[in-house]
Chains A and B, each alone.
Chain A
Amino acid sequence: MKHAALFALLFLAITASAADLRDVKDPAKIKDVFPRTAKLRVINIWATWCVPCVAEMPELRAIHAAFGAEVAFAGVSMDDMIPGAKRESVIAFLDRQTITYVNVYYKGNADDLSGYYRFQGEIPVTIAFDAAGREVWRHQGAIKSASTISELRTILRRLP
């Protein structure tokens, strides 16, 4: 009985991670993590080693919390671009930051990603797309929750 309780506790500890981190190699497949029902789809490209990316995490958490299911969020971690990077470190970071939206552990080429999403190699960058995949909003650099929430709400109202 005692063993069973210990095992249950251990199981809970192992599965306590809230982070949903999915491996993606092809930049074009990142959009597949979004639910089809979302009207607005927001990606945030970041890395644990990027100072402004880390600084904006509380803002992203607040932005995510401000919307319901019609706005879907996905982080795209570029940690794997550095030799020796550990996937577990990204999960631990997301857990510490209590980030609950899905994150992609990007395993492709850095240049392919910046080419696909048309940014000049600087992160963070945050981009919003409509359900058809058209870019409707973009912010380069660290974002602020109040202005971003307001801007995304305006865009959301205009979407069909």
Chain B
Amino acid sequence: MKKLFVSILLLISAAACMNADELSIGATAPKFSLVNAVDGKTVAFKPGDGKVSVVVFTCNQCPYAKAFEPRILELAKQYQAKGVVFYAIDPNDESQNSIESLAEMKARATERGYSFPYLKDGDSAIAHAYGARVTPHVYVIDGGGVLRYRGYVDDSAKPEERRTTGLANALDDLLAGKAVANQSTRAFGCTIKWKA
């Protein structure tokens, strides 16, 4: 009986830890103020600014994140025209790999023609606040600052094998004034290289 009680307690605490890591759908999104690698200026995101916003955790070194880069650029172009604001955030510790430095980020964003800021989360604090685990990992926040979608961009990096497009579907639902049908998906990618 005692063993059963201990097991239940362990299960409850494990579940609590898991929930604490993940920003819940319906929660207010954490604000941030980060340096844009492209021009060195600080960009502030204030949830509840009335705009639908997309926060994408991505990076320079992850092949899976890079495979999604053209798709993110394409979606940004498509939805920025509808008033959606995009923020790309690199949460990787540059001391583990200099490819994540501001200079390398600027080079990548410039070369690829990012139409959104590419922000450095050098101590991974914002990634922690959102509960991001991998790159790419995306979050959609409504105009009231509430998290409405978290997870993958699409379920496959290969356009010909794509079956579900999580990010685009969430944006379409929100822009149509509807509840997001598929609010949470499993983001797959490279583990974030956390600052020690």
Contacts and interface: CB of A to CB of B under 8 A. Distances in A.
A122 B163 contact: no
A160 interface: no
Nearest to B156: A109
Interface residues on B, range: 20 to 34
Interface string A42-74: 000000011110000000000000000000000
A35 interface: no
Contact of A122 (B67, B133, B161, B193): B133
Contacts of A121: 133-134, 152, 186-189
A110 interface: yes
A51 B93 CA distance: 14
Contact of A52 (B62, B158, B188, B191): B191
Given A50-B190, A110-B188, A120-B186, A82 B155 contact: no
Interface residues on A, range: 10 to 19
Interface string B97-129: 000000000000000000000000000000000
Residue among B67, B187, B189, B191 having the largest count of chain A Cβ atoms under 10 Å:
B191
Contacts of A111: 152, 155-156, 164, 185-186, 188
Nearest to B66: A82
A83 B134 contact: no
Contacts of B191: 50-52, 122-123, 141
Interface of A: 49-52, 81-83, 109-111, 114-115, 120-123, 141
